[in-house]
Amino acid sequence: AQKVTQAQTEISVVEKEDVTLDCVYETRDTTYYLFWYKQPPSGELVFLIRRNSFDEQNEISGRYSWNFQKSTSSFNFTITASQVVDSAVYFCALSEPPGSARQLTFGSGTQLTVLP
């Protein structure tokens, strides 16, 4: 069965610190997709990134970067020079095989608090 583990339930950092959110996944599929979503205190879910299993290149988008390593089944997310507005719950998600009743398996989320 597919599984996504976000072992860090809560992280607290001071503004301008770098922070890495861990995501470890389990799947038997050879083709799959990984996602990160942000849920700020206002409650909506915001899509951040989609990565397919054949593309192991790291990606950087402004202060955000993602490190995908198939060898360790991890897809970690780093925020550089964190800001108070980064405070949110962050979810990692893994695609399910076609026809699945889930479509996506979500991790339990990491609550990030950035203190001023």
Partner 1 sequence: DADVTQTPRNRITKTGKRIMLECSQTKGHDRMYWYRQDPGLGLRLIYYSFDVKDINKGEISDGYSVSRQAQAKFSLSLESAIPNQTALYFCATSDSPSLGELLYEQYFGPGTRLTVT
- Binding region for partner 1 (CB under 8 A): 31-33, 35, 37, 42-47, 50, 52, 91, 95, 98, 101-104, 106-109
In sequence order, what DSSP letters do the residues of 47-103 get, joined into one string?
Answer: EEEEEETT----EEETTEEEEEEGGGTEEEEEESS--GGG-EEEEEEEEPPTT-S-S
Q: Give kind and range of the element (H or E) at residue 19.
A: strand 19-21
- Min CB(16)–partner 1 separation in Å: 30
- Min CB(90)–partner 1 separation in Å: 12
Considering the complex, state which of residue 41 and residue 116 has its C-beta at the smaller distance from partner 1: 41
Considering the complex, state which of residue 69 and residue 103 has its C-beta at the smaller distance from partner 1: 103
Considering the complex, state which of residue 16 and residue 70 has its C-beta at the smaller distance from partner 1: 70
Residue 39 near residue 58, CB atoms below 8 Å: no
- Min CB(12)–partner 1 separation in Å: 19
